Amino acid sequence: MNKDNISKKKYDYLIVGAGLYGSVFAHEAKKNGKKCLVIDQRNHIGGNVYCENIEGINVHKYGAHIFHTNNKEIWDYVNSFVPFNRYTNSPIANYKGKLFNLPFNMNTFNKLWNVNTPEEAKEIIKKQTLEANITNPQNLEEQAISLVGKDIYKTFIKGYTEKQWGRKATELPAFIIKRLPLRFTFDNNYFNDIYQGIPIGGYNKLTEGLLKGIEIRLNTDFYTNKEELSKIADTIVFTGKIDEYYDYCYGKLEYRSLNFKHKILDTENYQGNAVVNYTEASIPYTRIIEHKHFEFGKQKKTVITEEYPEEWTPSKEPYYPINDSRNMDIYTKYKQKSLESNIIFGGRLAEYKYYDMHQVIGSALSKAKKIFRT
């Protein structure tokens, strides 16, 4: 057949999902002269990092997103689209009305035990772990107590974790907690990464920069138009649920979901911090986010979000993969099947991984470099 008679498809890449993975890949493809179409079933770009401006405040609609990384290449990459501010994540834990610093550090230990030195704190933790005498932890509760003792477990871990997973800690596998960071300094910075911040003006600035000049179709469901959409591009980049793409032929993967309740309050400052975790089981939400503090806002009103963990159903957004042995066995089959096609699967849902933002971006950049040899 004459090459000239072969009809060229309209796009080089159809990118399903306008979140970070899809946006980064689309940007790199365009940079390399490729024509892309990005579609998303939502009415906005940005995926879960999307912000809605309410009362002059950039509200993280799908939960708090705090960018942090040790990778200078990725930090420079995101800052080339929008400058990031100097926000440092220093969350607070509220347990029965008492406030403690997170992660567990000397400020935490001082408030919990009235100790002033690292040696005093270490001694209490050592005493409690020895008294527990747990040599072979059988569940999450035993694992946590064997690492940090009963006081820290009861105050900060038990209630929060049971809400997060919707299971008793004694019913959760020990491997969920591989380690618990103990910091014997008066340092409230939650992350150890060198680079940290929030885009000035919100995350929409980042995704708008990445997708500049690229054709986008919103409110477009891939499955409703699968046959037609699959024909218009040489390659599909898929960022949705990998099990759904293959019509659940090996079974359904499981997730935890979240429900966000946003409230506008007629006050300048509700809690004095961007993130406050509620660690007791009797309070149904895991944390309250006060969004203005991410960008040091001085607006007259404030917007808070209560975050409620939920069991996932197909009608809800999947947020956290449940990477237990059963689900990983299923995912491995889908992964193997995907290697037999020319479809690119990327991102948290397609790779069934709990990715932070810098890891999603790194994954997309790595795939683009491999394809375009840049």
pLDDT score recorded for residue 1: 40
Query: What are the structural domains of the chain?
Result: 3-45+211-253+322-372 (3.40.50.720), 104-176 (no CATH)
The predicted model gives 284-312 an average pLDDT of 97
Please, is 134 exposed, middle or buried when counting C-beta atoms within 10 Å of its C-beta (0-12, 13-18, 19+)? middle
pLDDT score recorded for residue 356: 95
pLDDT score recorded for residue 79: 98
Whole-number percent of the chain with pLDDT over 90: 92
* C-beta atoms surrounding 222 within 10 Å: 19
Confidence of residue 175 (pLDDT cuts 50, 70, 90): confident
Confidence of residue 59 (pLDDT cuts 50, 70, 90): very high
Asked whether 19 and 44 are in contact (CB, 8 A), the reply is no
Query: Tell me: the pLDDT tens digits for 197-215?
Result: 999 999 999 999 999 999 9
Query: Tell me: the pLDDT tens digits for 244-263?
Result: 999 999 999 999 999 999 99
**CA 50 → CA 15, 180, 362, distances in Å?**
18, 30, 19
Q: Quote the pTM value.
A: 0.93
Asked whether 217 and 38 are in contact (CB, 8 A), the reply is yes
The predicted model gives 339-349 an average pLDDT of 95
Q: Read off the amino acid at residue 300.
A: K
Mind telling me the catalytic residues?
179, 183, 256, 287, 307, 354, 356
Confidence of residue 5 (pLDDT cuts 50, 70, 90): very low
- Whether 187 shows a pLDDT value over 70: the answer reads yes
Asked whether 287 and 307 are in contact (CB, 8 A), the reply is yes
- Whether 7 shows a pLDDT value over 90: the answer reads no
With a CB cutoff of 8 Å and minimum separation 6, the contacts of 213 are: 30
